[in-house]
Amino acid sequence: MLTPDQLSALLEETQEVAKQVGSFIRKERQHFDVEKVEHKGFNDLVSYVDKEAERLIVEKLEKILPEAGFITEEGTNSTQAEIFNWVIDPLDGTTNFIHGIPVYAVSIALMERDEVILGVVYEVNRHECFYAMKGGGAFCNDTRIKVSAAPDLSASLIATGFPYYNFELIDRYLNSMKSLMQKTHGLRRLGSAAVDLCYVASGRTEGFFEYNLNSYDVAAGTLIVQEAGGMVTDFAGGKDFIFGRKIVASNGNIHGEFLAVLDEFWG
């Protein structure tokens, strides 16, 4: 177990790693060649930037906490440890990056067994570093952040992520969107789940939902939401949101109402 002082020092070092890798990503975008894009699957894109960014992150984190294992998107290191594991998305929002849409981020979380204890999301283009450690509050660029005080869905802006493969559940998803469009200020699709979660944490949106996500998409952002005073569950209101591939995050006030809408189509 890490002491609070050790965890705080680790959080600072992790922020520096995320910022350094973010700087690499930003520079590479200036001369990025779309011809070098690879397809992991249908609409599942990856570039040399993703791979090199992950290699850099793993290399740096191995030095910071040698006993920790890794859960990584690109498979740079997939050796998991018993107690501590880093959960890494080197470039969350790859499709945005490839197309030159400036919403993408580096996401790094540290799990102690089945609990996230540290999370950093560095939004590359806005130079915004969101971070939190268990029990320490949530911050963006050294300023404490908290979720919105909006009391209900009718006063809320909701973020989501459109499915880009595995369209078997698309009707449920579209019906959920249709219902939420009529009950809220509107819906937004930014293209990065890590950024979506941080926007809930900082009160820019009141809620976020998506299905078919992976642990590395959401691990860091979920802790940041929780430490900002928000709530995170799966679609059933349970705790299986990191590995369960369905996530709902909110300011807490709207959570019951939010889940009730989703339950109409996903219950």
Give the residue with greater pLDDT, 31 vs 84. 84
pLDDT at 19: 98
Q: What is the pTM of this model?
A: 0.95
Who wins on pLDDT, 162 or 67? 67
- Residue range 68-92: average pLDDT? 95
pLDDT confidence of residue 42: 61
Instruction: Label residue 166 by pLDDT band (50, 70, 90).
Output: confident
Residue recorded with tokens 């209101």: 237
Of 29-38, 67-76, 123-132, the range with the lowest mean pLDDT is 29-38
Model pLDDT, residue 37: 82
| Residue ranges of the chain assigned to CATH 3.30.540.10 | 4-144
pLDDT digits (tens, 9 = 90+) for 57-78: 999 999 999 999 999 988 889 8
CATH 3.40.190.80 placement within the chain: 153-266
Residue 43, pLDDT > 70, answer no
Residue 6's pLDDT is 97
pLDDT of residue 1: 85
**170-181 helix and 255-266 helix, angle to the nearest 10 degrees:** 140
Fold entry, domain 153-266: D-Maltodextrin-Binding Protein; domain 2 (3.40.190)
Kindly indicate whether the domain formed by 4-144 is annotated with CATH number 3.30.540.10. yes
Q: Model confidence over 193-219: pLDDT tens digits?
A: 999 999 999 999 999 999 999 999 999
First vs last C-alpha separation in the chain: 38
**What pLDDT was estimated at residue 41?**
64
Kindly state the average pLDDT of the residues 99-108.
Answer: 97
